[in-house]
Structure 1
Amino acid sequence: MRTKTICLLNQRYLPRWAVFMIDILICVVSFGMAYFILDGTPLKFQKVWPTPVRAAFIIGANVYFFYMLRTYAGIVRHSTFTDVFRVAAASFLTALSVVIFNMAYFAVSGEKIFLTTGILLYMFFSFTLMLFFRIVVKESYQYLRRMNNSSLKKRVAIVGMDNQTISLGRALTTESDLSFHLIGFLTENSSNKSLSIMGKPVFSLPINKDSLQFAELIKKHQLDGVLMVRDSLSVSETNEIVEACLANSIEVFNVPLVENWNKKEDIQTQIKHIEIEDLLDRRPIEIDTEIIKDDLEHKTILVTGGAGSIGSEIVKQLAVFNPSEIVVLDNAETALYEMELYLNSAFPDLKFSTVLADVRNVERLEMIFSTYKFDMVYHAAAYKHVPMIEKNPHEAVGVNICGTVNLANLSVQHGIDKFVMISTDKAVNPTNVMGASKRAAEMYVQSLQEKIGTHPRFITTRFGNVLGSNGSVIPYFRKQIAAGGPVTVTHKEIIRYFMTIPEACQLVLQAGTMGKGGEIFIFDMGKPVKILDMAERMILLSGLKPYKDIDIQIIGLRPGEKLYEELLSDTSQTLPTYHSKIMVSKVHSENFSSVSEKIQAIVNATSKNKKMDVVIRLKELVPEYVSQNSEFQILDVHHQN
C-alpha cells in the first residue's frame, strides 16, 4: 500500500489539456442534466434551434471563457481561491452572455432560443461539478500525502520535561506536516514515571551509552532519534546523551530555545542535527563589558579584514559598545557588500563606513587614515591558508608582513591610541610560511613599541583555530559528508585547539583593554581535539556510519602542517591576567633596526620570482622557523650543515 501511495504522489501533474477536456465533459454532462430535469416539467423548450445546436452554442461559449480566463492553467491538486474564482467567473460569464444573446434575439425576432431557467440550471450544475472535481483531486492528494508522511515520519522522543520541551512537544503534535512523530518524553527523574504530557508517556530512565533500559526503550518503540533543547543542557549532559544515542544508532536533533525560534521560519527548518560545535567542552566566556565599553565608546575604529570571518565578528561585537564610527576595510568586494547590508539591517543606528582597499597599498591607507582620524585599529586582515601560502610565499610577505608594517607605521604617524593585531598559534615555532610571516609581523610591532615607547600601544592576540571560520576543518568536513564522502584527514594523530568565533573575538576585545603596549596575549583554548575523532563524530551525528556510509581517508600532512599546534614557545614564560582565559606571554623583543633591516631584505627578495630566496630571508628573521613536510626543508638542512 505504501509503495502504491508513493507512486501516486510521484505522478506528474494533470496536463492542462486533460483539465480542459474534463471541464468540457462536465459542461456536456451539466447540459444533459439540465435538459432532463426540465423535460419532466411543464416548461417547454423553444423550438427555434434544435437541442444539439443549443448545446453546442452554450458549451462553446463556456469553452471560450475557459480559454479567456485560463481556468485549466492552475495545478488542480494545489487549487486556490483564485482558481475557484476563475471557474466561477467562467460559468457566470457564460450564463450572462447566453442570456444577453437570448434577449437580443427575442428583441429582433420575437422568439427565444433558450429557457432562462435552463441557462441558470446549466450554470449551477457546471460550476458545482467543476468545483467538485477540483476538491476531489486536491483532497485525495492531501489524504495520500498525509498517509505517506505518517509512514515516513521519524519516531522521536524529547529529552527533558520543562516549559521548553513541552512547547516543542505541542508544536510536534499540532503541526501535521512535520517529519517527526512524537513518541514521548525522556527524563532521568524517577518521580515522573507515571506521568503523561499531551497524551504522550514520560519515560523515566537513565540516558547513557551503558543503559540497558534506554536500549530496550529504543527497540520497543522503534525510536529513530531524540530531540533536545541544547541551550537548556550543559555540555557534559549533551555529550552523555549524544554518546548514548550514537551507541544505539539513533539520530540526535537540536532545537533552539522557544524564545529564540525564528517566527518567519516554520518549525521544521529549526530542528537540525546536533552539530559537533555543540559537543566541544567549552565553558561560557565572561567578559567585563563595562571596561570594554569605557575603552570603545565614542571611538573611531578601523577594522582591517572586516568582512572576513574574524574581522566581521569583531565589527559586530564592537557595534554594541556605541563607537563613534566603525570603518570596515577589506579587499573582497562581495563579502564587504554583504557586510554592509548586514550592518544596515542589524544596526540601523550605527555609524559605519565600508572601504574597499588593500593593506599592501600604503598610499591608499594614508588617504584613509587622514580622512577618518582613527582612535583604534583592529588588524585582522591576513592570508591564513597554510598550504596555499606555502605555494605563494610572496603573497604572505605582501599581506601578512608588509600590510602590518604599513598599518603600524601609519598608526604611529597619525597618533592612534591602540593597535590590536590578530595573530595565530602557528606563529609559535613556525613550520610553514604562513606562521613565520605572522611571527615576523609580531616581531615588527613589538620592536616598534620598544622604539617609540608607550604611544600608540601595540597589542598582539594569539589563538588557535576558530570554529566555522573560512577554510577551517569543520565546514570542510561538513561539505565532504554532504557530498557523500570521503572525508579526508591528513594524519591519524593530528590534533588542534578550537574556539568559537564569538569567543575568540570577545577575548580580543577584553585583551585590548589590558595592553600597555608590546604584549602578546594568548587565550586558554581548552583541551585539544583529535581531528580523526572529530571526523568520525561528525559522520555519526549526520545519521551515517564512518567507514561504511562515509569513508575516511588519511591523505598525509599538507605542506607546512604539523601534528601539534602550540600557543607558546615556552609555557614557563607566561603571566596570568585578571581574566582567567587570557595570559600574557613574555616574549623577548628584538631590536627595531635589526627587524626592519631583515624585513626590508625579505621584501626585496619578493621582487624576484624565487620562492627560496624569500623563505631564506624569512628564516633569517625568524630563526625558530623550521619547515616541515615542505619543499623548503632543504634550507634547514643546509643551515645545519
Structure 2
Amino acid sequence: MKTKPFLRNRYVLLGDLLLIVISVLGSYALRFELGAQFFDYLPSALWMIGFGVVIKPLVYHLFGLYQRIWAYASVEELELIVVAVTAASILLSGGMVIALSLGAFVGMPRSVLVIDWLLSLILAGGLRFSFRLMAEGRGQGTALMSKPRRVLIVGAGDAGALVVREMQKNPQLNLQPIGFLDDNPAKQKQQIHGVPVIGTLNELAQVLERQQVDEVIIAIPSAPGRVVRVVADIARLRGVPFRTMPGIYELLGGKVSVSRLREVDISDLLRREPLQVNEDLVGAALSSRVVLVTGAGGSIGRELCRQIARWGPKLLILLGHGENSIFETLLELRESYPALNMQPVIADIRDRPRLEVVFNEFRPEVVFHAAAHKHVPLMEINVEEAVTNNVLGTLNLVEVSMAYLVERFVFISTDKAIRPVNVMGATKRLAEMIVLNAAQRSGGRYSVVRFGNVLGSRGSVVPIFKRQIAQGGPVTVTHPDMKRYFMTIPEAAHLVLQVAGMGRGGDTFLLNMGQQIRVLDLAEDLIRLSGLEPGRDIEIVFTGVRPGEKLSEDLWDEGVSLRVTEHPDIFRVENQEVLEGEMLYQIIAELVKLAREGDREKIMALLDEVIPGSAIRSTPPPELTSVV
C-alpha cells in the first residue's frame, strides 16, 4: 500500500541545516553587500554557521518543531516558531560573543545577529508553512474531481468563521462557502477568510433566488429558536437543504467544527437566547467535589453528567438501575473527558443498604437526584411502582445523604406535581416534600427544581412522533388544544447546575419555561422538518386525552408567590403548602405498606387526601391502548 506523500520531519531537519547556512551568509551579505568587508568577516561567519547548525536544530527540537505535522499548521504553530527561533538566536548570540572573547576570530558586526534572527524567522516559518500549502494544493486537486456544493453561511461570527476555515482547509468535504449573512451592520461588505458578507438575515430569500445555493448552514450557536425557524422555513420553501450548529448549551465543553453540523431538529426551533451562568457559584458547588447523579443513564441524568464533567469534579459517580444505560453514559464521558475520575454504580434507590454501602465508600458531597418513574400512563397502571420508586426511593436517598453529611442535594421534579391528576405527579410532589423536610431537619442545602417537559427525553412525545413519521404516519395527537411547557435537555441541565450553586436549603426553584406550546404545533413542525407536509403527506389523528393528562400544566399552586433570583430564568417559590415531620413519615409508611399489599385504590385515595389540589381518582381508569 502506497503511503501518502507527507514529507517526514527528517527532511525538515535537513532543510533547516541548509537554511541556517543560507541565513548566516545572507545576513553578512545584506550587511556588507558582498563587498571586501564581507570576505574580511568570513571567519566569523563560518563560526556562526558552525554554532548555528548545532544550536538551532537542538533548540527547535526542544520546542517540538520536529514533532509536528506541518500540513495542519496554524497560528499556534506560528507562535511556536517565533519563540523557538528567538530562543535559538539568543543562544547563538551568546556563543558568538564567547567565541569572540576567546579570540576565535577577529571582529563581528553585531547587526548580523539581528538580521540572522529575521531571516531565520522567514526561512524556518516559510519552510514549515510550505508543507501546509502543498497539502492544501493536493486536496484541491482531488476536490476538482467533483463539483463542490455551494454553501451559504448564516452568521459571520466566530462559529461561522471557524466553519468556513475548516471547509477551506479540507477540500475533501466538497463544500464551497460563497457568502455570509449577518445582521451586524459593521460586517456588511466585509470579507472573512476571503468569503464576503453579502447581506442580512432578512435578505435570505432574495439571496437564495439570486444565487445558486446548494445548502444553507446556520452557524450561530447562540441563535434563539425564532431565528432558526425563519431560516429553516425560508430554505424549506425554496427546496434548499439546511443544517445547523448545535445550540450553545450542546456545545459546552466541545468545539465548533464542520463535524458538529447536523439537521435542524425540533429543539433548535424552541431554543431560547443563552443567558450567562454564574461561573463562581457553579464552580464552588462542583469543582474538586465528589458528585453523585442518580438516574445517570436517563436523558436528564446523562446530560447533567456531561455538563458536570466540565467543572472538574474530584469524582463523578454514575448511579443507575439499568446497566446498559449507565454503560453508554460511561463510554460517552470516557471519550469526551478521558482524564475524568468516574465510578459507575449499578444500584436501585429502593435498596437502602446498597445506598449506604455506596455512600460509605465514596462519600459524595453533592447529589443530583434525577432517577424516577416518569411515564404518566404506565404509572397509572403500575401505581405501586410509582410509590416505591418515586417516594420510598427518594426517602432512602435523602436519609442516607443526611447520614453521610452531603452538602448539597438537588431534586429534579416536574410540573405534573402541581395539582396532580396522575399518580406520577402526586408521587413526585410527595418526593418534593421529603427533600424540603430534610432541608429543615438537617440545615443542609437540600433544594427542589421543577420544570416541564424536556424535548427528546426517553419516553417523551418527540421520539414517538419521529417514529410515526418515519413509518409514514399517522401522527397521533391526543387533543388539538393539548399544551405543554417544553425545554431542551441541555438548557434544563444548564439551569439545574445553576440551581445547585444558588440553593440555600429548603428552596423550591422553578425554571422559566416560557409559554406553553400546543402539541399539535410541535407535531406539524416535526413533519415539516422531515421534508413533508402535514395533512398532505402525513395525516394527524386525534386520539383523545389519556388517563392522567391535563390539557395544560401548572408550575405552581394557586396562592403561592414567586420571587426572582439572581438568575433571570430561575424563580423561587414562596408560601407553598408542604407536609412535615412525623405526619409526613406516617403517610409515607402507609403508602409503602399499601404498595406492598397492591392496594391501588387506597393509595390513590390517600394521595388525593394529602397532596394539595390532587384529583387522581377523577382520572378515568387506564387502558393499554392509551399508553402511547
TM-score, normalized by length of structure 1?
Answer: 0.65
Distance 1:287 1:628, change over 3 A: farther
Contact 2:159–2:256, Cα closer than 8 Å, also in 1: no
d(CA) in 2 for partners of 1:167 and 1:575? 41
Distance 1:174 1:487, change over 3 A: farther
In structure 2, the residue matched to 1:627 is 616
Query: How many residue pairs get matched?
Result: 476
Among 300, 305, 327, the alignment partner of 2:317 is 327
In structure 2, the residue matched to 1:491 is 479
Contact 1:251–1:273, Cα closer than 8 Å, also in 2: no
Corresponding letter in the other structure for 2:556: L
Contact 2:451–2:511, Cα closer than 8 Å, also in 1: yes
Alignment of structure 1 residues 54-453 onto 2, 5 Å: 157-159=152-154, 226-231=216-221, 233=223, 235-248=225-238, 250-255=240-245, 271-450=261-440, 452=441
d(CA) in 1 for partners of 2:395 and 2:357? 16
Distance 1:548 1:314, change over 3 A: same
Alignment of structure 1 residues 520-559 onto 2, 5 Å: 520-559=508-547
d(CA) in 2 for partners of 1:616 and 1:485? 39
In structure 2, the residue matched to 1:457 is 445
Corresponding letter in the other structure for 1:411: S
Q: Deviations over 1:228-255 (max 9, x none)?
A: 3242755443333333334555543325
CA drift of 1:347 comes to: 2.5
Q: Deviations over 1:393-427 (max 9, x none)?
A: 11100110000111112222333223221111110
Greater shift after overlay, 282-291 or 423-432? 282-291
In structure 1, the residue matched to 2:599 is 610
Greater shift after overlay, 277-286 or 389-398? 277-286
CA drift of 1:436 comes to: 0.3
In structure 1, the residue matched to 2:9 is none
Greater shift after overlay, 396-405 or 323-332? 323-332
Contact 2:218–2:243, Cα closer than 8 Å, also in 1: yes
Contact 2:479–2:544, Cα closer than 8 Å, also in 1: yes
Corresponding letter in the other structure for 2:348: D
In structure 1, the residue matched to 2:585 is 596
d(CA) in 2 for partners of 1:594 and 1:532? 43
Contact 1:281–1:526, Cα closer than 8 Å, also in 2: no
CA drift of 1:475 comes to: 2.7
d(CA) in 1 for partners of 2:330 and 2:158? 38
d(CA) in 2 for partners of 1:506 and 1:278? 16
d(CA) in 2 for partners of 1:280 and 1:520? 25
CA drift of 1:359 comes to: 0.5
In structure 2, the residue matched to 1:516 is 504
Q: Deviations over 1:244-297 (max 9, x none)?
A: 33455554332579xx8x999996x75533222122251213221212222233
Contact 1:615–1:632, Cα closer than 8 Å, also in 2: no
Contact 2:159–2:221, Cα closer than 8 Å, also in 1: no
CA drift of 1:382 comes to: 0.5
CA drift of 1:429 comes to: 0.9
Distance 1:175 1:461, change over 3 A: closer
Distance 1:250 1:458, change over 3 A: same
CA drift of 1:432 comes to: 0.7
CA drift of 1:603 comes to: 1.1
In structure 2, the residue matched to 1:121 is none
d(CA) in 2 for partners of 1:188 and 1:523? 30
CA drift of 1:220 comes to: 7.0
d(CA) in 2 for partners of 1:279 and 1:323? 33
CA drift of 1:168 comes to: 5.7
Contact 1:382–1:399, Cα closer than 8 Å, also in 2: yes
Contact 2:485–2:516, Cα closer than 8 Å, also in 1: yes
Distance 1:207 1:249, change over 3 A: farther
Match of 2:345, SS?
Answer: strand
CA drift of 1:463 comes to: 1.1
Distance 1:370 1:173, change over 3 A: closer
Query: Are 1:466 and 2:451 an aligned pair?
Result: no
Q: Deviations over 1:181-232 (max 9, x none)?
A: 988766779999999999999865x765xx8xx7676567686753332427
In structure 2, the residue matched to 1:567 is 555
Give the aligned CA root-mean-square deviation in angstroms: 3.8
Greater shift after overlay, 242-251 or 363-372? 242-251
d(CA) in 2 for partners of 1:425 and 1:527? 13
Greater shift after overlay, 195-204 or 343-352? 195-204
d(CA) in 1 for partners of 2:218 and 2:407? 47
In structure 1, the residue matched to 2:489 is 501
Match of 1:290, SS?
Answer: helix
Query: Are 1:585 and 2:609 an aligned pair?
Result: no
Match of 1:556, SS?
Answer: coil
Corresponding letter in the other structure for 1:252: F
Distance 1:539 1:410, change over 3 A: same
User: Is the radius of gyration larger for structure 1 or structure 2?
Assistant: 1
Structure 1's unaligned 5+ residue stretches are: 1-145, 634-641
d(CA) in 2 for partners of 1:314 and 1:264? 19
Distance 1:459 1:219, change over 3 A: closer
CA drift of 1:343 comes to: 3.1
d(CA) in 2 for partners of 1:552 and 1:501? 26
Corresponding letter in the other structure for 2:531: G
d(CA) in 1 for partners of 2:416 and 2:262? 34
CA drift of 1:308 comes to: 1.5
Corresponding letter in the other structure for 1:317: Q
Match of 2:233, SS?
Answer: helix
Distance 1:333 1:239, change over 3 A: same
d(CA) in 2 for partners of 1:163 and 1:365? 46
Match of 2:297, SS?
Answer: coil
Corresponding letter in the other structure for 1:617: L
CA drift of 1:384 comes to: 0.7
CA drift of 1:163 comes to: 7.9
CA drift of 1:568 comes to: 0.8
Distance 1:463 1:173, change over 3 A: same
Greater shift after overlay, 549-558 or 180-189? 180-189
Q: Deviations over 1:13-40 (max 9, x none)?
A: xxxxxxxxxxxxxxxxxxxxxxxxxxxx
Corresponding letter in the other structure for 1:516: R
Structure 2's unaligned 5+ residue stretches are: 1-143, 623-628
Corresponding letter in the other structure for 2:235: C
Distance 1:417 1:183, change over 3 A: closer
Distance 1:576 1:247, change over 3 A: same
Distance 1:330 1:221, change over 3 A: same
d(CA) in 2 for partners of 1:185 and 1:516? 47
Identity %: 37
Distance 1:351 1:575, change over 3 A: same
d(CA) in 2 for partners of 1:521 and 1:192? 41
